[in-house]
Amino acid sequence: MDLPATVAPFILRGVSLLGINSVTQPHDKRVAAWNRLADELDLDLLPAMSREVGLSEALSVADDLLDSRIRGRIVVDVNR
């Protein structure tokens, strides 16, 4: 995936851009990577870095997101 941007703003703020691209890896390596993530991820930290909202709240949350008033991830539950 292309990210046409400079990394300077991230470096100045001490932000790390981390991730994996498992799509191009053989199946056994993908399984090993996802198993390692599942083993090492502290699930107790997830509530502090994510929030679930209902579909009816999505527009107001989108405004907050665009105005940089939200940190972490938002999960929209379309059944709520």
The pLDDT assigned to 3 comes to 65
> What whole-number distance in Å separates Cα of residue 68 and Cα of residue 65?
5
Is it the case that residue 1 has pLDDT exceeding 80? no
For residue range 24-65, list pLDDT tens digits in order. 899 999 999 889 989 998 989 888 889 999 999 999 999 898
The pLDDT assigned to 9 comes to 79
Q: Please state whether 68 falls in left (phi above 0), alpha (psi between -120 and 50) or beta.
A: left
